Amino acid sequence: MIEHFWRDRPVFITGATGLVGAWLVRRLTEAGADVVALVRDWVPRSEVVRAGLLDRVTVVRGDVRDQEVVGRALAEHEIRTVFHLAAQTIVGIANRDPSGTLDANIRGTWTVLEACRRNPLVGQIVVASSDKAYGDQLKLPYTEDAPLLGMHPYDVSKSCADMISTAYAHTYKLPVCITRCGNFFGGGDLNWNRIVPGTIRALLRGERPVIRSDGLSVRDYFYAEDGAAAYTTLAERLAADPGLVGQAFNFSNETQVTVLDVVDRIRRLVGSDLSPEVRNEATNEIRHQYLSAAKAREVLGWSPMFDQDEGLRRTIDWYREYFRNGQ
């Protein structure tokens, strides 16, 4: 991390109360950035609130779809770098409420980009897309030149947001880059229906973890602290190299892990012999996904700081402390 790059730099973050958002706020404040966070809902148990991180930043209350709020925040705080992370990220919720997910993820993206387009001070924009933007494809691992083929509501929302970002880069020369990462995990994730936090909570309570699918789907699990580092690395490189404008980058440990595998790893690290309850009731989920991060390694000089087991150990430690403190 180029700390002098961030010192006193005005930075705007959407999605600061989310999993990766909290790690990004922590990383940037520790580097001396002047962080402005857009916050819609006050979530007292979120890591960014619980750890006192919001006490170290400027909070703008509002919705990412509100053009006036976003534009005012960028202008009044003279923002130089933007990280757009805000999204509805739960596949099950997207299936039940597609209009809400599509509106938040697609309109939210063009609202941020349009506000940036109107503000000449913004020099770098990092938009968080997802491996789900690629949809279900036969050729694996995904590389950045693969087509975006989302078919279900969440996947489509990420494909669209990704393409909108590319359009703003190419049409308006907006200094935007796109990140595509796998399934994030890490301390601070309070979405208990996700496999990592749900499994850890169950095992720490002496209960059997629940797997909603058949457990055989392959996913690309990526530690949230590595995600935050990837975002800051990309912004730094974008500032130095305008040739990166409009490009997308995969970030990944480049390992294929089934849901059953990740549950077994967590059981081993926790020291539990409780077997999972496999319900096989999930729908509209991509069967096999994993990413190539070769481009990020070669172009950005990036590599993850943690392997998956170390990321899981750190995550389990976070939840042990969380529950020890009566949460």
Catalytic machinery residues: 154
Which of 159-186 are b and which e, b meaning 16 or more Cβ less than 10 Å from the residue's Cβ?
Answer: bbbbbbbbebbeeeebbbbbbbbbbbbb
Bridge partner residues of 10 (DSSP) = 34
Residues contacting residue 264 through CB under 8 Å, at least 6 positions apart: none
Q: What is the dihedral of CA 289, 293, 294, 299, to 10 degrees?
A: 150
Query: Which amino acid is residue 104, in one-letter code?
Result: A
Token pair 């609202």 is at which residue?
Answer: 111
- Spatial neighbors of 183 by CB under 8 A, at least 6 apart, are 194, 195, 219, 220, 221, 222
The neighbour count for residue 244, using CB atoms within 10 Å, is: 19
E-only strand ranges, the chain: 10-14, 34-39, 58-61, 81-84, 124-128, 176-181, 183-185, 210-211, 218-219, 221-223, 248-251, 257-258, 277-278
Cα–Cα dist 165/129, whole Å: 9
Euclidean distance between CA atoms 322 and 19, whole angstroms? 15
**Which 3 state secondary structure label does DSSP give 204?**
helix
Give the Cα separation of 74 and 80 in Å (integer).
8
